[in-house]
Amino acid sequence: MSSTTNTTTVGTIGAPSRRNTELAMLVFAVLIPVFAYINVGLAKDHSVPAGVLGYALGLGLLAGVAHLVVRKWAPYADPLMLPIATLLNGMGLVFIWRLDQEPSLGSAMAPNQLMWSTFGVALFLAILIFLKDHRVLQRYTYISMVVALVLLIAPVFFPGVNGAKIWITIPGLGSLQPGEFAKIIIAVFFAGYLMVKRDALALASRRFMGLYLPRGRDLGPILVIWALSLMILVFETDLGTSLLFFGLFVVMLYVATERTSWIVFGLLLSAGGAVAVGTFESHVQTRVHNWLNPLELQGGGVTETAQAMYSFGSGGIFGSGLGQGYSRLILGIAPKSDYILATVGEEIGLAGLMGILLLYGLLIERGIRTALAARDPFGKLLAVGLSGAFALQVFVVAGGVTGLIPLTGMTMPFLAQGGSSVIANWALVGILLRISDTARRPAPAPAPSTDAEMTQVVRP
């Protein structure tokens, strides 16, 4: 009886403590972007920008409402995820507004991004309020598969942008990038499917060079996903979604089965598919050529990757200062979306860029910690899937901008311009918080025994 009481007491005390910690960090998560906003204004116009009060109130209101909803509907959830997402979103708004000050870089996009961020937080709140238990999503495993396929196939029927078909146009709403929402729905499908099939997929046929190879009959799922990812690459020339789709399945398959052979098999399939598609797909060939030869742009000039390298080199260790970079000279690329990290690296330097990447790493780590704490296998796999999707997106974007891998055309979560991206990633954080709250919520105390039951137990 005393053990149960202690557990319940600790859990009850722990919930307000987590939320108070979250509130304190949220204050800093709002103040840092506000001061950055002021810094940009001082650097550009030598005065405090007129919109700073509205920006501070808007970001503070979003963070405050989100905190109150988490405190009421997910009191045991991880206290770090919301402040990190708020800080990244806030800094993204600052950098987009900073680039808006350059007339050569197009129209102002920061107001639209703030609007989409509001929609994203609204979806985040709706998930916490109405999704009482993440295990409900398991009922929609195969419906999720159908919805994800529809979202992935839809861009084929719309015109491409910069050689890739990743957008659909909805009358009255504008353009939408369905791949951003598909990554969440795909994670739900993979979690439900692998929870049922993991025992069969974990069986091995023979051992080869220290690896337990899967049985031939169990290769079907990974081959199907591989074929679908190649179809996305061929028909939509969307390298980013193709990598994310297949990589997510391989990661979740490894976590579900604990077989390293699936990782090796997945890497071999990825390499073989990339080489095969690269032999005839001109868009992929151009991306690889520009990656390998950044100073030899076809038609003259240098590639976008080279221009980003110039920005990083100009920033050095500590950066040129917010608002004091030369992003206006980087023409012909997407500085507010695909290449916003170039501005980050130039104006706050290597130290600031590493700080941003560490924030991403910490958010991913909290997602993995949530997976470890989850009590049900579906929750574990779903948390791993969502964290893995987020990590893969950060890797392919940062890797593409820094020249580590060919550019994929995806956007940096929370930081880059893009309504679909910011809404989808707020939804992703909302689901992770729901899983975290369920995992850390103390188990209900058993019902007390009645006097009659106690008499029956004591009586010989």
Residue 410 confidence class, pLDDT cut points 50, 70, 90: confident
DSSP code of residue 161: B
Domain range for residue 120?
2-446
Residue 357 is predicted with a pLDDT of: 96
pLDDT in tens, 238-271: 777 888 888 898 899 888 888 887 788 888 888 8
Asked if residue 409 lies in contact with residue 239, where contact means CB atoms within 8 angstroms, the answer is yes
Residue 354 confidence class, pLDDT cut points 50, 70, 90: very high
The residue ranking higher by pLDDT, 244 or 169, is: 244
Asked if residue 80 lies in contact with residue 72, where contact means CB atoms within 8 angstroms, the answer is no
In-domain check, residue 244: yes
In-domain check, residue 456: no
Whole-number CA gyration radius for the chain:
24
pLDDT in tens, 7-27: 333 344 467 888 888 999 999
The least confident of 48-62, 246-260, 379-393 is 246-260
Q: Is the pLDDT of residue 216 over 50?
A: yes
Q: Is the pLDDT of residue 2 over 60?
A: no
Q: In whole angstroms, how far apart are CA 61 and each of 54, 56, 248, 330?
A: 10, 8, 34, 34
> Rounded to whole angstroms, how far apart are CA atoms 118 and 137?
25
Predicted model pTM: 0.89
Asked if residue 184 lies in contact with residue 427, where contact means CB atoms within 8 angstroms, the answer is yes
In-domain check, residue 193: yes
Residue 369 confidence class, pLDDT cut points 50, 70, 90: very high
> Rounded to whole angstroms, how far apart are CA atoms 105 and 103?
5
Asked if residue 279 lies in contact with residue 233, where contact means CB atoms within 8 angstroms, the answer is no
In-domain check, residue 278: yes
The residue ranking higher by pLDDT, 8 or 114, is: 114
Own/partner contacts of 324-333, CB < 8 Å, gap of 24 or more, are 324/43, 327/98, 327/99, 327/102, 327/105, 328/102, 328/104, 328/105, 331/104, 332/304, 333/304, 333/307, 333/308
The least confident of 72-81, 409-418, 446-455 is 446-455
In-domain check, residue 451: no
In-domain check, residue 454: no
Report the percentage of the chain scoring pLDDT > 70: 85
In-domain check, residue 457: no
> Rounded to whole angstroms, how far apart are CA atoms 251 and 263?
7
Residue 189 confidence class, pLDDT cut points 50, 70, 90: very high
Structure tokens at 286: 């151009």
Structure tokens at 212: 């337990």
Q: Is the pLDDT of residue 452 over 60?
A: no
Residue 125 is predicted with a pLDDT of: 97
The residue ranking higher by pLDDT, 355 or 207, is: 355
> Rounded to whole angstroms, how far apart are CA atoms 344 and 362?
19
Bridge partners, 169 (sequence order):
175
Q: Is the pLDDT of residue 300 over 80?
A: no
pLDDT in tens, 133-144: 999 999 999 899
DSSP character string of 196-253: HHHHHHT-EEEEETTEEEEPGGG-HHHHHHHHHHHHHHHHH--HHHHHHHHHHHHHHH
> Rounded to whole angstroms, how far apart are CA atoms 428 and 253?
20
Cα 324 to its chain centre, rounded Å, is 29
Asked if residue 22 lies in contact with residue 86, where contact means CB atoms within 8 angstroms, the answer is no
Total domains, the chain: 1
Residue 297 is predicted with a pLDDT of: 67
In-domain check, residue 46: yes
Asked if residue 389 lies in contact with residue 183, where contact means CB atoms within 8 angstroms, the answer is yes
